Structure formats: C-alpha cells, structure tokens
Amino acid sequence: MALVLRAKFRRWLRGGDDGIAAKVRRKNQINDIIWKSLPSIRLSLLVAGYAWMLAIPLPNLGRNTYIDENALQPGQVNTYWNWPHVFRADRYLESLEQLRDQNSTNAEWAGYIKHEFRDLGIHVSTQSYHFTNASGEYNGTNVYAVLSSPRASGAEAMLISASRVSLNGNLNLRGIATVLSLAGYLKEYSLWSKDLVFVISDGYLEGMQAFITSYHGADEPNLDADPLTLSSGVIWTALNIDYPGHSFSHLGVFFEGLNGRLPNQDLINSFRLVSTYTGGVPVLLYDHRDPREVPHLESQLSIIPTWLPDVVKKQDAVREYGFRAKNILKHVGYQARGQTNGVHGLLHRFRIDAITLFAVPSSGPHGFHALGRVVESTLRTMNNLLEHLHASFFFYLLVKPGTFLKIGTYLPSVILVSVSMMFTGLGEWTDARWYEDLSKPKATDKSVAASGGIILLERPRPVLQALLIMLATHLAGVALFYIRTSGFAGLHPETTSLTLCALLALPPLFALIVRSSPSERSAPIASILKAANLCLASTVISVTSVLNFSLAAVLAVLLGVPLSYSSYKSALPAKIGRYAIYVGLGLGWLFCEKEVQRAIWNWEILGVWFAPFVCVVYTPLVLQAGIVSLLPS
Amino acid sequence: MRWRLAIITYIALWLTSALAAYEEFHELLTFRPLSDGKLAARFTFTTSLNGTHPRDPSNLADEDQSQHYTVFPLALGQVLREYAVTELHLNLNAGKWDYDHWGYPDEPGVGTGAELWAWMGESATRSVDERWKGLRNALSGQFCASLGSLDDQRTTSPELTFRPEGSLPSSGGAHRLRHGTLPSEHVCTENLTPFLKLLPCKSLSGIASLLNPHRLFDTDWHGLSVHVRYLENEGIEVRLSFQSVFDPVRYTGGRRAWSLQSVFDRVIDRSCPVARSSEIRVAIPKEENNAQITPDFHNSDGEHAIFDVLNASKPLDVAMNWVNESAFDYNTVLSGVPLTHISVRRTLKGSSQSRGRLAVSITNNMPITIQTSYLESMPWLLQFYLHTLQVHSNGVSRDDLVSIVSCIPSVPHARPTLFQAILTLPPKSTLDISMDVIKPFLRYTEHPPDAQRGWDLPPAVLVPLLPANATVLTDHPELSLSEHKMDGFGYPIRSPRRMYTPVLLVDLATPDFSMPYNVIIMSCTLIALIFGMVFNLLTRKFTLVRVSSEP
Amino acid sequence: MANALGMYRTVKRLGIPDSNIILMLADDAACNSRNKFPGCVYPAAARDLDLYGDNIEVDYRGYEVTVENFIRVLTGRMDSSVPRSKRLLSDDRSNVFVYMTGHGGNEFLKFQDNEEISAFDIADAFEQMWQKKRYNEIFFMIDTCQANTMYSKFYSPNILATGSSKLDENSYSYENDMDLGISVIDRFTHYVLRFMESVNKTSQATMQDLFDMYDPDKFASHAGVRSDLFNRPIDQTLITDFFGGVSQAEVLAPEEEFYYSSTPEGGHQQESESFTHVDSATTSGAVKSNNDEIHGYSDLLSVVQDLQREPPKRDTTGLFRTWVSSGLMFALVAWVSMRK
C-alpha cells in the first residue's frame, strides 16, 4: 500500500504521463491556492506584524548588552578624582549661581567661563552666533577650550560639553561646574591620546548646533556664527553632562540623535559598566525609573492600566513588560520624531558617537564626586579607542539599561506589516487587469474547471491617471509644508491650520462627481490608485525601517490597516464617512499646535526631516487612500 | 731661554691640539623657559670631521676608502659613504609644537612623525632614487623606525622649502633633494637607544647621561633629529639633537621651578672626556627679574647663563626658580600676542567620506607685509581640485596674493601631490585659503590594519621669507625671518624658520570588515530572492488561453 | 606585548646581543600617549620590573609587522636593501628560538587586525629554513588561545615546540593593572618568565625542568609540548642552548663592555642570586661590587671560565661549537589579553 502511494506521489511529482501539461496544471494549482488564500495571508502577516510589535517588550526577548570593541576596556582603571576637585567644582558653582542671580548677559557668562578656562592654562575662545527663523531670533555665545594632549599629534579629539540650559528646562549650572573642574583635573594627566575639547554651549541645543557646524564647516542657512579660532582634530566621541538638580540618584543616558541616528551601542554599554561599577551609580534609560523601585510613585510611573485586576498587575512579568514598554515608547517617541533630547544628538551626523549623561534630580545620594569619577573613567575608556567605533552596533533597541534587542528580533515586525501591504497592493494591481467574462458560456475544459470555471479577460489599466493623482497629492504636501513654515503661519497658526485643512480636504471631493466608467473594459482608477498607494507606502516603510526603526513602526501602525482596507465599493454616505476618517488621520496633526511648532523649529534650526517627511510623504499617502474611498468603483 | 722654551711648548701644544682637531665633539644643552610655564630643552651633540668631503657620487662604482674614526659615529659614516649623501636630515617627533606660545623651535624640524630629507649628487652608476631607497632602508634598520615605508608614494622634492643647510660640493653632478614624511610614526626608547650608541660617551657621562627615556617620553613635545651637512672649507658635521618641551607645572602641581633632577630625574656625575666642549646654557628671562638660576654662574653671553660641564664641580644640578611665585598664573600669558611672525591653522572641513575642503588660515602678526612659501606634500589619499582654490584676506577675495610656484598632481597608487606657492600676507591680517579635495577609494589591500582610524596626513610647511621692505628689518631686528646666529662653537647655524602645521586625519570610505555586515548582506540577498519569487507569482495570473486551431 | 618583551629581556639577560634578536612589536605600548608610565612596560601590576628599560631595539614595529615580513625573516628572502639588523642571519649551526604571542584560534594567529598566519604557513617556513640550512635546532614557543594547534603541523626535523593551551582552550591573562587599565601579561608567559628569572648563563636547567613547571591549575589552560621532531632527549637539552649566548666571549670586542654595562641588569632581587653564583665561579674577588659595569664584566668572565672548565659535549669534538642562539620573537596586540 505504501509502495503504491509512493509511486503515485512520484508520478504526481513528475507530472504523470504528460509532463509539461501536468507541470502547468500544478503551477496553476499552487497559484490558485495562493490567490485564494491571499486575503488570509495578508491578514495573517498584518496580525503577525502587530503581534510582534506588541511582543517586543516581553521579558524573555532581548539579551544582555556586551562590549563589542575589545579595546574599550571599560571600568578597568583607578580613578583619582577626589574631594579637592569636588571642592573646586563647588567654587565654580558658587560663581555661576552669582551670575544667575545677577541676571547676567550671555557675554558676561561667556566672559566668566573663558576667564576660568584661561586660569587653568587651557587655550580658550568664544563664538557668538545668531539664528533667525520664522518664529524669532536666537543669539548666544559659546565658550570652547582645546586642551592639546601632550605627546599626541592632535589629529583626534574627544568632546566634553555642557549646555547652559538643561534638557528639563532649568539652568545646567552644575554641569558647567563639573566640566570646568574636570578640565583642570584632566590637565594634570599626560595620558590622553586625543585632544580634549570642552564646550560650554549657550542655550539648549542651538549653541552646540552653531559650534559643531562651524567646526565642520557645514553651511547652515539660518545661522550666522563667528568662525572658530581654535581648532583640533577629528572628534570621535563626545560626552554631554547635564546636571540640573541639587544632587542625583541615577544617571540617565539619552542617546537618540537628530533624524533617528543612534550612537554606537558600545559607548552606552561602556558608560553603563563604568557608572555601575566604578561610580556606584545605577543607570537609567532617559529619566525613567523602574516603578518597582519606587513603590509610592508606581501609579505615576507605570503604564500598566489601573483597571486591571491586582492579580495581573502585581505579576512580575507584567510589571517588567510595563517597564520595558514604557522605555520603548519613549524611545519611539524621540526617534520617530527625529528629535534629540540633549546636545549629543547634534553630533551624530558628523560621525561622532555621543551621549548625554543626565543626573536625574533627586534628594540624593550622589553629587559631583560620583559624577566626576564616572566621567573620568568613561573618558579613559574612550581614550583607549584606536579607531572609530565601527562594528555594526548602530542597530539596536534598548529595552532597559543592560538589555537590548538585536536588529533581527525587532526589525521583522515592521517588515511583516510592510510585506502585507505590498501583497495587497500587488494583488490589487493584478486583479485590476482581469474581469470576468459573463457573456460567454461556462467552459467545460478540464483546466478551466480548475480555476473555478470562470473565464477572465484582460483589460487596460489607467496607470497614468492614478499616478497623476498621486503626484498631485504629493505636490499639495510640498505646498502644505511651505505654507505651514512661512512667516504668516508662524503668526496665525490656527487660521493657517484651518485654511490648510480645508484647502487640502475639499478638492478631492470632486472625485465624487466622476462618473464610473461605463463598461468593465477598463479598470477603475480607484483600484490602480490603491495598488500604487499601497506599494509606495510599503516601500517607504521598509526603507525607513533600517534608517529609523521607530518612524517605520509608527508608519506601520498608522498606515497598515487604513491603507490596506481602503475600499471604493461603498455607498455615498459611507464614502464620505471613510473620507472624513482619512482626513482626520492625515491632517489632524495640524491642530497639535505645540508639536507642529517644535517640529518646524527642529527643521529650521537643526535640520530635522520629520516635518517635511510628514507633509510630503505621510499626509499625501493618507489622502490618496481617502481619494480611493471617494472614487467610483 | 725661559721664554723660548715657553714658546716651543706653546707651539707644540698648539700643534697637538690642531692635529687632534681632526675630529671634534661638542655637546651643548640649552634650556629656554617658555611663556606658558613650560620649559624647552635641547641637547645638541656636534661631531665634526674636519677637512673631509662627502663621497663623490661619480666614484660610486669604485672601492671606497677605508674609514677610521675615533669619535665620529662609524655606523652613520658607513651609511653616508655607501649612498654618497651630501646632506641628510632625519627628524622623529611626537606631539604638536605650539608656535604661538612657544615661539620658533631651536631645531626647525618639528613636524609630527618622521621626516627624512637628503641632498644627493647625481651619479651615473647608481641613480639618486636608487640610493634614496637604500638610504631609507639603512636608516630604518639603524634607528628602528619604519622609514622603509617612505616609498615613492610619499617622496617629493620640494626644493623651495628645504634648502641645503650646509654647502653642496661643486665637484660632482647636480644635487637633488628627496623628502618624505611619515606622520603616524612615533618615537620611543627603541629609537633613542641607537641614537645614544652614535655618541662617543653613549649615555654614560656628560650631558648625554641626562637622556632618561622615562622622562623624555613623558614630555609635551619631544623629538630626536640627526643632521649631517657639509661645510665648505671645514668638513662634514654631524649634529645629533634631542629637543623636548617639559611641563614643570604639571610635575610640581602649579609651580614652574625646575632642576635637572626634577625634569630628568638625573644629575651630571661625570663629564664626557672626549668632548672638546660641554656646556649647559639657560636662557635668562628678559622681563622677569625674580628668576633665579643655581648654582651661581660666572659665564654669560647676556642672554644665557653658561655652565661649563667639563670644569664644573660634580654632581652638577642646574636649577631655576622664580622667587615668590607660589603658583604659575596662566592668565597673563595665554592672552598675549603670538610669538611668531605668522600663525597657521589648517583644517579639513566636511564630514563626508568622498569629498571635503582643505582650509588653511594664516595670520600675519607683524605690522609689515611679509611673504611666505607654502608647501603641501600630500599623499594621493587626498586629491586637490586646484580650480576651486579660493583666497580671502579678511573676508575679501584676493587671488593676487597667491602665486603658485609648482603643482605636481598626484597619481593614484603611485605619486603624491606636490604643491608649492608663495603667499603675500598683508600686515596684521588673516589670509584664508581653501580648496576642495576628493577622497579616493582605496583598494581592499591598501587599507591599514586599523582601517577605521583614518589616515594621518603630513603637515604643511611654511617658510616666512624676507619682507620686500628691507629697511623695516634693520629697525626691528626681531622681525628677522631667518636665524643667523652662532651656536657657541663658531659654526653658523643657517636654519631657516620653517613652520609645520599639525597633522590631519582623513576619514576615507572604508569597507566594514566586520562579521555582522556580512550577515546583513547575506540576509538581504536571501530576502531579495524570496521577494522576487513572490513578486513573480503575485503579478502574474495563469489563465487558460484557447488556441483556436488545434492540430 | 609584555609577553614578548619579557622573553626579549630574558634572552638578552642571558647574553644574546640585540644584533641576534629580531623583535617585532605591532604595538607602541611603551610610548603610546595612552600609557600612564611613558617608556615603560611592566609585566606585573606591582610595576617593579620595567621590561622596556633604557636599552631596547625593536626591529619591526607598527604596520611593518605583517605575515609577509615574518615569513621573509624566517626564510631569509629579503630585498637586497634590507639592513642586517632586520634579517635573521642564521646558518646550519644556529639554534633559533621563536616566540609568538597574540590573538589566536584553531591553527591560526592573528597579525594586526586584518590578517593571520596559519599553522601550515609556519610549518612550511620552517621546512624551507631546514632546506636552506638556516637552523640547527628550533625552539618554538607560543602563547595564545588554542596555541598547541599552531605547532601541530610542523614536519621538519629538530624542532621542539611548546604552547600555552590546547584546542578549544583559552589562554588567560595573569593580572590587570588598574592604573593602565589593561591586563599586563598572560599566565603562561608569566610563569615561564618566573622560571627563567632563576636561570642564568651557567645554569644546568634543562627543558624538562621548564616543562615540569607547567601546571594547568596555575595557567588555567593545558600547556603542551611537542618533542617528536626533536632528536635529543629534552632532559639533556639545556635551557641556555636556546636562551643563552654562551659563545659570547669569542666575539666580544673590548668596547662592548660599555654596551653591556648599560643593560638594566642590576638591582633585581631574583637576579642577585644568580650573580652570587657567578661571583663564586670567578677566581678574583674584585668583582664583589654592586657597580653595574663590573657586573657586566663578571658575567663575561664567568662565561669564559665556565667554558674552560666544561669541555663542550657536542658531536663536533675539539672545536667550540658556536651556539649562536638567535632569538626570534614576535609579539602582537598587547592591549587586550582577553582571549576568545
């Protein structure tokens, strides 16, 4: 019996007696299976993608961080930063507080800091800058000092910076005092292989932006800055110190850079090891404390919904999930918008690996002493580098300090959604080519019976019209961007938003009066448009996923289902309802005034691509789906 | 009768000394406190072989005369004669010379890394290039440095900047210059060891005994150099020199007082018996009158306190102290005016791995117009777009201020760029020169082992030239642009004041040789293949096509 | 790097001049600006012994340390302009000691970051040396991960080989210097060096004594020995056959005394023992001084006397067998001794 079956199976594989015909038949069968199950395939891909995204914070995913570059040797040195240096930092702090209390001007601040650097015997200079954008002007004066390391050629450098304004909005006086005291302390050593560049930048981000672009000779259209009079070599790594409070309990690490660039993970890992083992200071991602460590704040910190029963809420796995999920959400929030939360983010585009150490304000127990030791040891680690941090440690997703996801464990989630969209689009495209010939009698042929006995006829597809519609929406997106960033919009944001919304949302309604094509001889524009729209969106998502995973994930969530299930086969009220949803999805952001302003500021001063991306790519894609739902079938 | 005897004795003594003067060895150590609290020290060991000539390159095919020296370094002499080198300069330096605060160095060759240049006469038997290669390799073995890699990709002949410091013999053919730099070469004990072996007293006695590697290689700047030159009517002179910049403030925690013991961790116990002269000179600061030099000195040339090591009581420990100074105050110095005629900054702008912009800004600190030669001897790792050369003086475009003397473009994988120009610097102004450069792709095998570090580029060299208006010069002797001073033994030091810019690091496009990238490439290929198959299936639909006429 | 320098120091201490030692160092650890103690390389965190000293000659350094150069040194196929100091000038009466260290794996040793030498390469190079009569005997020592695999492919005669760890085993570092921030020396080399410190030129210690000292507990790996190609019993092979320049007395010119005296030999406790031994061997009492110069001289004296008392027991009778041992040493990557 088994033998017979096997022989049969073999024959089936070979294609029976009539080889070619059987092969064609088999191919048809496979094809039919795929075609028939296409809706379920794309649905399962979509579901799998979203489920994977939800699974990312699971406690059993992720692995412990490790140091990839052996030369780093973090935390292997004795530190000699001690109370005399802390005392010096306290003296600096007193003077800085005086400056603050006297409401000193930028120039006075710069003058004081410059004087102190010079007192230490370090070459120092200042740089004044002037930014102009639609919403105003920003002036300031940076102070920078270059400590040429003895014995070294000065072709490489490390940067230590503190911005005058902390990322939480307060003055970063203690950060500046730390940098000043460190400068005096580090000068006593002759073991630096790279020059040390100290930058006290004015303002929050704009000061460093002026400094670093002048340093690299990059042209910034809005910037008018003095040329730098001191120079050093290629900057490899940078530490930014942000210490706004009185003392701190944890050191938070901020690492996302402009346009979603990330620094090499080795830098973060080294810092974590140094901070934990040399400084004795626990490390946080951002300023997000583990709710389990501070029970009285748990309700504030945790993102686990309160309505869940305690049995679930108190589960350790659930709490771990909640903790990790919040870290990831924060990361996505920063990275997707391409914004940085600290001076470090401005440096990544110049191939500088940089992070911000944020001393999380608290009533204790750490202060200058711990911070100085951590920075000293981290600098020694960075000093060990013989070449740029280069291994592919730029793709990672930190779920908590010390645990990360490799690219292979998080990237597929977005790719699955993108693949599902691509399948839907391609399916739509192929479908549009055929129509069922109802006039002819049903065939009795064997092969036809295999495909359901339906005869399909070919028809032309109106590609050009669909593409023109797409082009028009993208052009409208460009116009939207220019109008929204113009000076007028800066003055009257709400009026502009309303007008823009109306201008963009109303014209597509003309699609309603388009007559549906008289015969089935030509494919409906809507289906071609939907196919092209899905293929474009899918490509955008998968390309973005390796550049900026968070942005791709947000796009996958926002575009995945709405674009895949846009439909043109519904009645008029339903059409209008659907369209309204798409308009809300595509243009609703116009009314988040604060976000819009921040995105525009980021674009104008720092060159973050998020604002133009939303206007020129995201909104048009959603509008296209809206137009699909308006068009006749 | 008595006086006759005296005269005879005197003549006899004179004769013996004249015969003994056939070879002479002098040693000199000079200290110069610098304006920013640092201390420049220079050891000079001069051996002269009087009445000799460099080997005539046209006789290279013949057997060489035998060599017998007493104090002249034989190992070096053999190399010089083997390759018939007339003039030779080798510098091995580490650190960055800060011209603005340290002034001109006593030895002009202070570019970071190794620099070797030689003038050689042409010969029919062995070409200059052939001998240059041999010389490189011989010196590489002699001084334990990687000079052998100064191959054709790094050799140029910048005759405008590197003039002979001695004289070139009139006999023999024309003389040719070969010059090469290796900016990433470092200097260490293994270079000092053979250097010391060239000295007649090694490091056992005399001022050479102060050369303690553990201290010398901890200084802010240090470099050793070997100079060989031929002086017409005198002979061949070999000058071995070690120059370093100490930072006493760093050692003492705030004060700039120093002594031999504190900077070298050694004192002089014995003098070198074969040295004709052995001196320590300490520059006396002009402005400050609280500087105190111990032990008391009896000999001075006005600018320096001079200690004669041969006759001084041993152990000799020279020290300098500033009375009533508890901590050195940087604030007064660092804001002061630069100590050199011009200040130069050279940077490589742009962060892209394919192109960039080379920017040089030269500030004339003098109230007169001066000219300077400008040399870029650049490996082909950076290729100049000469047509993009822009010259701005205080923000105004001034193309007339640059006259290009020569420009030999590079040939990838073979030859470096040689760019020489004369710049005119208006008084008290800054000249900004910038030029687009492209960064070529390297072959896979051409990358260094630490490819991601980038490549060190050699320094540019500038030589300030005599101003056109010579009367200013007589009024202000400090404006003199080349140094014509005696070095204490009656030999003129004719060293032009060359200025070296710091080296640059260029970041070239580098393949990632690491494993994860291979994995990524591999998985991308797989995904592309799978996608292709699925795409093929999805965009085609198999239908039955009825063929009307069946056979 | 301290590994190779330790060996360098040992062979030099035992009387082999720099001209017979080829030292290849890929790293500039001593004068790298990252070194907190410039010009020094210490084999222990206690920092009591400076291996770099005042007197060292590195023949190949930095990027010159390549597989190609290494093989060229062994086989002697050099460009004619390469100076003598960079060549291995050995003949069929020379004993060659080869020491290698660095990052390694199964049958390979990494050179720099971008290339590696395989066990087959070395085996072939040794065979070529044998064919070209460039050695009499070779002692090959390697300290790296899975080191024993490196000598497994040898097939030329008269080679004695030893390695620090067997297949699938790592070699571990001995200790970390917390001021330098790196591990300073590997266990295997550390203990070998310690053993060598007790050996002097007149020592009768044999290879067997060295191999007996191997202790897997101390090394944290299983050191191996391969003696099947070696045609002398190893318990009759003196350490100084490879490590010591016993025939020094013949070739030294008087001038060399100066050179000798500048070697940093005095002042180490372990050595004082050996020096007293030397003193007792000399007839003159004049050498009982701590002066470096006389120490050096007494070394020479003792060697001469030693050779006169003990007639050479080599096969070529009646002649001084010139045992010019040439040390050939190779070192790599010193920063990291964490092995994979």
pLDDT tens column, A180-238: 999 999 988 888 889 999 999 998 888 999 999 999 988 888 888 888 888 888 999 99
Q: Both B433 and B289 in a single domain?
A: no
Q: Both A327 and A396 in a single domain?
A: no
A480 occurs within a structural domain: yes
Set of chain B residues whose Cβ sits within 8 Å of the Cβ of A38:
538
DSSP state string for A35-93: HHHHHHHHHHHHHHHHHHHHHTT-TTS-EE-----GGG-TT-S-----HHHHHHHHHHH
**Which residues, including other chains, have CB under 8 Å from residue B175's CB and lie 6 or more apart?**
B86, B119, B120, B121, B122, B164, B168
Q: Both A489 and A391 in a single domain?
A: no
* pLDDT tops 60 at residue B469: no
What average pLDDT does this structure show over B255-277? 90
Give per-residue pLDDT as tens, C192-209: 888 888 888 788 888 888
Cβ of C335 and A189 within 8 Å?
Answer: no
| Whole-number Å distance between alpha carbons of B189 and C32 | 11
Tally of CB atoms within 10 A around C281: 15
* Subunits close to B (at least 3 CB pairs below 8 A): A, C
Q: Both B466 and B318 in a single domain?
A: no
Nearest residue of C to residue B137 by CA position? C82
Count of structural domains within chain A:
4
Instruction: Considering only residues B548 and A50, tell me which one the structure prediction assigns the higher pLDDT.
Output: A50
Reported as a pLDDT band with limits 50, 70 and 90, residue B335 is: low
A257 occurs within a structural domain: yes
What average pLDDT does this structure show over C284-303? 28
Q: Both B228 and B156 in a single domain?
A: yes
**Mutation test of the interface with chain C: which of A68, A70, A192, choosing the one with the most C Cβ atoms within 10 A?**
A70
Distance from CA of C187 to the nearest CA of A (A): 19
C145 is catalytic: yes
* pLDDT tops 80 at residue A299: no
3-state secondary structure of C185: strand
Cβ-in-10-Å burial (0-12, 13-18, 19+) of B273 comes to: exposed
Determine the residue type at C130: W
pLDDT at C10: 84
pLDDT at A438: 63
What average pLDDT does this structure show over B65-70? 81
Q: Provide the angle, in degrees to the nearest 10, between the axes of the packed helices A493-505 and A593-601.
A: 100
Cβ of B516 and A392 within 8 Å?
Answer: yes
Cβ-in-10-Å burial (0-12, 13-18, 19+) of C218 comes to: middle
A624 occurs within a structural domain: yes
pTM score: 0.86
Element (H, E) at A499: helix A493-505
B461 occurs within a structural domain: yes
Q: Both A467 and A456 in a single domain?
A: no
Cβ of A151 and B222 within 8 Å?
Answer: yes
Give per-residue pLDDT as tens, C247-280: 434 333 333 333 332 233 322 322 222 222 222 2
Give per-residue pLDDT as tens, A314-334: 888 888 898 999 999 999 999
Cβ of B503 and A451 within 8 Å?
Answer: no
* Subunits close to C (at least 3 CB pairs below 8 A): A, B
Q: Both B405 and B309 in a single domain?
A: no
**Mutation test of the interface with chain C: which of B69, B217, B452, choosing the one with the most C Cβ atoms within 10 A?**
B217
Of A401, A420, A445, the one marking the end of a domain is: A401
DSSP state string for C155-173: -SSSEEEEES--TT----E
A163 occurs within a structural domain: yes
Q: Both A258 and A388 in a single domain?
A: yes
Pairing of strands B23-33, B277-283: parallel
* pLDDT tops 70 at residue C293: no
Q: Both B313 and B350 in a single domain?
A: no
Nearest residue of B to residue A114 by CA position? B331
Give per-residue pLDDT as tens, C8-27: 888 888 888 888 888 888 87
A45 occurs within a structural domain: no
Q: Provide the angle, in degrees to the nearest 10, between the axes of the packed helices A316-336 and A549-564.
A: 90
φ and ψ at C60, to 5 degrees?
A: -125, 130
The answer to whether the CB of C23 falls within 8 A of the CB of C329 is yes
pLDDT at C93: 82
Q: Which domain holds residue B242?
A: 19-333
Q: Both A379 and A512 in a single domain?
A: no
Q: Which among A485, A477, A499, A481 has a CA at the least distance from the CA of A623? A: A477
Q: Which among C40, C58, C113 is the nearest to B450, CB-wise? A: C113
B244 occurs within a structural domain: yes
Reported as a pLDDT band with limits 50, 70 and 90, residue A147 is: very high
Give per-residue pLDDT as tens, B349-361: 888 888 899 999 9
Q: Which domain holds residue A449?
A: 432-461
Q: Which residue has the tokens 């659907």?
A: A578
pLDDT at A142: 93
Of B284, B299, B333, the one marking the end of a domain is: B333
Reported as a pLDDT band with limits 50, 70 and 90, residue B135 is: very high
Q: Both A345 and A393 in a single domain?
A: yes
Gyration radius of chain A over CA positions:
30
What average pLDDT does this structure show over B339-357? 88
What average pLDDT does this structure show over C152-159? 90
The answer to whether the CB of A185 falls within 8 A of the CB of A122 is no
Q: Which among B40, B227, B39, B111 has a CA at the least distance from the CA of B499? A: B111
Cβ of A121 and B36 within 8 Å?
Answer: yes
Which has the minimum average pLDDT: A528-532, B36-40, C38-42? C38-42
Compute CA distances A573 → A305, A511, A570, A581, B178, whole Å: 37, 14, 8, 13, 87
Of A417, A444, A461, the one marking the end of a domain is: A461
A97 occurs within a structural domain: yes
B8 occurs within a structural domain: no
Q: Which among A30, A217, A434 is the nearest to B359, CB-wise? A: A217
What average pLDDT does this structure show over B69-89? 89
Q: Both B461 and B371 in a single domain?
A: yes
Q: Both A215 and A309 in a single domain?
A: no
What average pLDDT does this structure show over A249-254? 92
DSSP C238: B
Reported as a pLDDT band with limits 50, 70 and 90, residue A23 is: confident
Tally of CB atoms within 10 A around B151: 12
* pLDDT tops 50 at residue A134: yes
Q: Both A88 and A236 in a single domain?
A: yes
What average pLDDT does this structure show over A373-377? 93
* pLDDT tops 60 at residue A358: yes
Set of chain C residues whose Cβ sits within 8 Å of the Cβ of A190:
33, 38
Reported as a pLDDT band with limits 50, 70 and 90, residue A17 is: low
Structure tokens at C149: 């695999």
Count of structural domains within chain B:
2
B191 occurs within a structural domain: yes
Of B313, B333, B353, the one marking the end of a domain is: B333
* pLDDT tops 80 at residue B202: yes
Q: Both A446 and A552 in a single domain?
A: no
Q: pLDDT exceeding 90 applies to what percent of chain B?
A: 30
What average pLDDT does this structure show over A328-343? 91
**Which residues, including other chains, have CB under 8 Å from residue A159's CB and lie 6 or more apart?**
A197, A198, A199, A235, A237, A238, A239, A347, A352, A354
Q: Which among B179, B216, B177, B182 has a CA at the least distance from the CA of B196? A: B216
| Whole-number Å distance between alpha carbons of A235 and A241 | 17
Compute CA distances A316 → A296, A312, A329, A390, A425, whole Å: 17, 9, 20, 37, 42
DSSP A515: P
Distance from CA of B250 to the nearest CA of A (A): 6
B3 occurs within a structural domain: no
Element (H, E) at A160: strand A156-163
A313 occurs within a structural domain: yes
Cβ of C336 and A71 within 8 Å?
Answer: yes
Nearest residue of A to residue B223 by CA position? A151
Set of chain B residues whose Cβ sits within 8 Å of the Cβ of C59:
141, 144
Of B275, B306, B333, the one marking the end of a domain is: B333
User: What residue spans of B231-373 are helical by DSSP H?
Assistant: 248-252, 260-264, 330-334
| Whole-number Å distance between alpha carbons of B313 and A365 | 61
Q: Both B418 and B311 in a single domain?
A: no
B9 occurs within a structural domain: no
CB distance from A378 to chain C under 8 Å?
Answer: no
Q: Both A198 and A97 in a single domain?
A: yes
What's the CATH code of the domain at B404?
2.60.40.740
Q: Both B245 and B106 in a single domain?
A: yes
Compute CA distances A336 → A54, A168, A414, A610, B320, whole Å: 17, 20, 14, 8, 63
Q: Both A441 and A564 in a single domain?
A: no
pLDDT at A445: 45
Q: Which among B185, B190, B204 is the nearest to C58, CB-wise? A: B190
Reported as a pLDDT band with limits 50, 70 and 90, residue B338 is: confident
- Its ipTM equals 0.88
Set of chain A residues whose Cβ sits within 8 Å of the Cβ of B517:
392
pLDDT at B472: 47
Distance from CA of B279 to the nearest CA of C (A): 24
The answer to whether the CB of C338 falls within 8 A of the CB of A70 is yes
B540 occurs within a structural domain: no
Mean pLDDT value across chain C: 70
Taking the alpha carbons at both ends of chain B, their separation in whole angstroms is: 148
Set of chain A residues whose Cβ sits within 8 Å of the Cβ of C336:
70-71, 73
Reported as a pLDDT band with limits 50, 70 and 90, residue B453 is: confident
**Which residues, including other chains, have CB under 8 Å from residue C327's CB and lie 6 or more apart?**
C7, C8, C11, C16, C20, C21, C22, C96, C97, C99, C242, C243
Set of chain C residues whose Cβ sits within 8 Å of the Cβ of B185:
62
pLDDT at A477: 92
The catalytic position among C31, C40, C145, C222 is C145
Q: Provide the angle, in degrees to the nearest 10, between the axes of the packed helices A368-383 and A265-273.
A: 130
A388 occurs within a structural domain: yes
Q: Provide the angle, in degrees to the nearest 10, between the axes of the packed helices A368-383 and A173-186.
A: 50
Pairing of strands B370-378, B461-465: antiparallel
Set of chain A residues whose Cβ sits within 8 Å of the Cβ of C176:
76
Instruction: Considering only residues A159 and C316, tell me which one the structure prediction assigns the higher pLDDT.
Output: A159
Reported as a pLDDT band with limits 50, 70 and 90, residue A454 is: low
Give per-residue pLDDT as tens, C74-112: 888 888 888 888 888 888 888 888 898 888 888 888 887
Cβ of A149 and C33 within 8 Å?
Answer: yes
C103 is catalytic: yes
Q: Both B458 and B347 in a single domain?
A: yes
Q: Which among A71, A150, A380 is the nearest to C335, CB-wise? A: A71
* Subunits close to A (at least 3 CB pairs below 8 A): B, C
Cβ of A150 and B514 within 8 Å?
Answer: no
Q: Provide the angle, in degrees to the nearest 10, between the axes of the packed helices A106-119 and A83-101.
A: 160
Q: Both B135 and B253 in a single domain?
A: yes
Q: Both B402 and B498 in a single domain?
A: yes
Strand partners, A163: A201
DSSP state string for B127-186: -HHHHHHHHHHHHHHHHTS-GGG--TTTEE--TTT---SS---SSSS-EEEEEEEETT--
Give per-residue pLDDT as tens, B476-526: 444 454 444 444 443 444 556 889 999 999 988 887 776 667 777 888 899
Q: Both B305 and B402 in a single domain?
A: no
Nearest residue of C to residue A189 by CA position? C36
B1 occurs within a structural domain: no
Cβ of A383 and C338 within 8 Å?
Answer: no
Q: Both A134 and A236 in a single domain?
A: yes
- The length of chain B in residues reads 551
**Mutation test of the interface with chain C: which of B83, B133, B188, choosing the one with the most C Cβ atoms within 10 A?**
B188
Cβ of B247 and A390 within 8 Å?
Answer: no
